[in-house]
Each structure stands twice: as C-alpha cells, then as structure tokens.
Amino acid sequence: MIRKYIVIPLGFLLATFNAQAVEIGVGVKAGTIGQGVEVSLALTQTINARVSLTSIEVDDQQETVQIGTGTTADIDAVLGFDFGATALLFDWYVFDGTFHLTAGFMKNDTKLSFSGTLLGPVTLDSGALAPGDINGDIGGSISLGESFQPYLGVGWGRKAGDGGGFALTAEIGVALLDPNANLTAEVIAGGTNNLSQADLDARLTSAESDVNSELALFEAWPVITLGLNYGF
C-alpha cells in the first residue's frame, strides 16, 4: 500500500514533465524520523516535489511492563520497535534561493509491539484477570501513524534544478500523528475466572480506549533532519 502512495504520484509527475528535461535530486537524510533516502523533482522554477522514506532498525528487548487499572500486574514481554516515516512533500523556494517552505503529507511508521506472559492477577476494566485465564501470551501494539497526516516545515537546501553535485540540506517541521493502540489475548475455557472470549475482548477494548485517550495528548511529532543531496 505504501508503494502505491509513492509510485503513483511520482510516476504521474514524471509523465507530466516528459516533454522537457527532468531535473531530479537524490539524497540521504537522518533525524527525528529515522534515516533513509529521498527523491526530489523540480516542478517549476521555485517548486519541488519530494518523496521520502526513513527508518531505524531496533533490536527486540526483553522487558517487564504493567497492565491494568487499580490493581496492576507485570507482563514478562518481548518489545519490538519499528521507527520511521513515509512522506510526500512539496517545497516552495520563496526567494528562489536555498530557503523553502514545505507542506505535504507524512505517515509516521513508528510502532511499539509486545508479546508476553501475565505474571500475576490484575484488574482490567473493573474485572479480575489472572494468568490462568490466558491461553499463551498477551500481545499488543501502539502505532503512532495509522494514515497520512498533514506536515508543515521550513528548510534550507538546493533545488533539484540548481545544477549537479552535492549539497547539504536541513529541515525543521511538525507532523501530525494518528496514534492507535491494539491488545489481543485468547482465553482458556474454564479458566481461573471462567471468562468467555467475548468478555475478554470487551475488557481489552476498554483498555485500548484508555490508552488511546492518553495517546491523544501526543498530537504532533517534531521533525528535524540533516541530509546530503545530489542534483542531476
């Protein structure tokens, strides 16, 4: 799906400008949205389009996390962390120099996932939950970006149409977030509290709502990047 968001707009832009010399820049960048690559295309004398893909690989970690309200319990969990972003951006070089204003859409691909064993009884959505109720592990994830959201920023760097060679780039901006939490678990039939799967799913859904309410406080992600671009 991400490839469609990238390939279709870029292919359309290339087709639109096939009657003239296409001025392209490619580069690498790193910052608060990870590290990766981007491709820029000169649309007019003062407007560029950019497609950016960034990520960071983080090894899984064994940690103890807490779950529940009121009475909490520990989970011996393996945490996975994916970090990065996908963006389609447009730069306006206001003074036809290196300074530019940027607007577009960014999907924050940062995601925290976990899978682990409940180590003790817990109160979840005003009901009891014990290790003997769960078949296997409790799993879950927190995603900061479920969809593409608006992005605004300012930056400094050469336009794609400003000749060949290498040039440094810098950018500061803010990307809106679309966070979402997800929890999963399977009951043991006739377990400690004799829960049904429907009972457990309802409690997990309530817990997800609590987490999502807290995540709503994180409505924006600061973007600071430095890069190296090569123009053709």
User: Mean of the pLDDT values across residues 114-127?
Assistant: 82
Q: What is the pLDDT of residue 9?
A: 52
- DSSP annotation of 212: H
At residue 108, the 3 state secondary structure works out as strand
- Whether residue 56 contacts residue 34, with contact meaning beta carbons closer than 8 Å, is answered with yes
Residue 8's CB is within 10 A of a number of other CB atoms, namely 10
pLDDT grade for 18, boundaries at 50, 70 and 90: very low
C-alpha distances (whole Å) from 57 to each of 33, 38, 82, 188 are: 12, 18, 7, 35
Sign of CA dihedral 99, 88, 81, 119: positive
C-alpha distances (whole Å) from 82 to each of 98, 148, 188 are: 33, 17, 31
Pairing of β 47-67 and β 34-42: antiparallel
At residue 141, the 3 state secondary structure works out as strand
More confident call, 30 vs 124: 30
Dist CA 115 CA 227 (whole Å): 36
With 50 as the cut, is the pLDDT of residue 90 above it?
Answer: yes
Percent of the chain predicted with pLDDT > 70: 88
Which CATH architecture fits 2-231? Beta Barrel (2.40)
Q: What is the pLDDT of residue 2?
A: 44
- For the chain, give the mean pLDDT: 85
With 90 as the cut, is the pLDDT of residue 208 above it?
Answer: no
Percent of the chain predicted with pLDDT > 90: 47
Q: What is the pTM of this model?
A: 0.78
pLDDT grade for 69, boundaries at 50, 70 and 90: low
Which has the minimum average pLDDT: 12-16, 96-100, 132-136?
12-16
User: Mean of the pLDDT values across residues 6-15?
Assistant: 49
User: Mean of the pLDDT values across residues 49-53?
Assistant: 96
User: Mean of the pLDDT values across residues 34-45?
Assistant: 94
Q: Kind and range of the H or E element at 101?
A: strand 99-108
More confident call, 100 vs 231: 100
Distance of CA 156 to the CA centre of its chain: 24
More confident call, 143 vs 67: 143
